Amino acid sequence: MGMRGLVKDVERETKRAQKVELADAHCHLDLITDHQLVLEAVNYGVLTIVTDGIDLVTSKTAIRISQLNKNVYAAVGIDPEKALYLEGMLVNRGVEDIKGLLKSNSERIVGIGEIGLDYTKAKDSSQIKRQKNMFEKMLDLANEFELPVSVHSRESMDDVLSILKEKGNKKVQLHFFEGNMQQAKDSERRGYMISIPPIDSSKRRSIIKDIAIDNLMPESDSPVVGATPKDVEKSVRMIAEVKGIDFERAAETLVSNTKRFFNIGAKPGFMRS
């Protein structure tokens, strides 16, 4: 095929993609200062966006953004990096603050996140202990309020999986999944969702290949990795290619996975009570 034909194909693909509904299961809109970019993503078709907080301030911002934009839903929580700085009374204070948000803004909050463990950030056993302690408390909150969790893991997947098992949380999104195949398979067996960022790699492709599409969700993790939620298109395209299905069909399945996971639109006009 000549270059012109190829270009035409790309153009047609792009046009086609633009009409397809997409969902972004994890991002940080509080870090995107130009709100126009978010509106562009929505206009492009990203009609469901879950934005995560990493502490009290950013969780409040996530809720605020979700109140201003009907396509955006909030997850609230304290992430492992912030957990490093909390000890003693500050731990319970932090947990109580998040609990306060859950009680007062429950209709816009669809999950607890971002939470988890990050051993690239924890330097010694006492810091790891702080992260584990906060992670466990966030999982308890999720169980208490019957909310799904968005979990961050760096070089800590074994501990993440064992704590999740211990706590018994059922609805788990392994955000920016970086585990190995065995861990992916264990997660699939438990019914967890493996979340795929818009970064292509052969390891990621082999995991996508061996995990059922019903256990996959697309995320942009913008602006940390993707630029805006629109970049979930790259995750969806990668999943479609590996699964050997149409982009449209992959998008449709992944949107419904995301909505089901976060209980979005379960009933008309219903978010969560």
For Zn ion, the closer CB: 114 or 118: 114
Minimal distance, residue 201 CB to Zn ion, in Å: 18
Hey, which residues between 83 and 122 contact Zn ion (CB under 5 A)?
114
Question: DSSP for 91-111?
Answer: HHHHHHHHHHHHHHSTTTEEE
Specify which residues 75 forms β-bridges with.
52, 111
Minimal distance, residue 258 CB to Zn ion, in Å: 15
For Zn ion, the closer CB: 117 or 242: 117
Residues found in the chain: 273
Look-up: residue for tokens 């330097």? 123
Minimal distance, residue 230 CB to Zn ion, in Å: 17
Check if the beta carbon of residue 238 is closer than 8 Å to that of residue 271: no
Minimal distance, residue 149 CB to Zn ion, in Å: 13
Question: DSSP for 167-213?
Answer: HT-S-EEETT----HHHHHHHHHTTPEEEE-S---HHHHHHHHHS-G
Minimal distance, residue 189 CB to Zn ion, in Å: 25
The residue at minimum Cβ distance from Zn ion is 114
Check if the beta carbon of residue 75 is closer than 8 Å to that of residue 150: yes
E strand or H helix at 249: helix 247-261
For Zn ion, the closer CB: 169 or 195: 195
Site string for Zn ion, 11-30 (x = CB under 5 A): --------------------
For Zn ion, the closer CB: 81 or 114: 114
Look-up: residue for tokens 């639109």? 265
For Zn ion, the closer CB: 29 or 216: 29
Check if the beta carbon of residue 173 is closer than 8 Å to that of residue 150: yes
Measured distance CA(180)–CA(195) in Å, rounded:
14
For Zn ion, the closer CB: 179 or 240: 179
Question: DSSP for 40-92?
Answer: HHHHHTEEEEEEE-SSHHHHHHHHHHHHH-TTEEEEE---HHHHTT--THHHH
Minimal distance, residue 51 CB to Zn ion, in Å: 9
For Zn ion, the closer CB: 32 or 240: 32
Hey, which residues between 38 and 77 contact Zn ion (CB under 5 A)?
none
Check if the beta carbon of residue 216 is closer than 8 Å to that of residue 176: no
Minimal distance, residue 178 CB to Zn ion, in Å: 12
**Residues that bind Zn ion in the complex, under the rule CB under 5 A:** 114
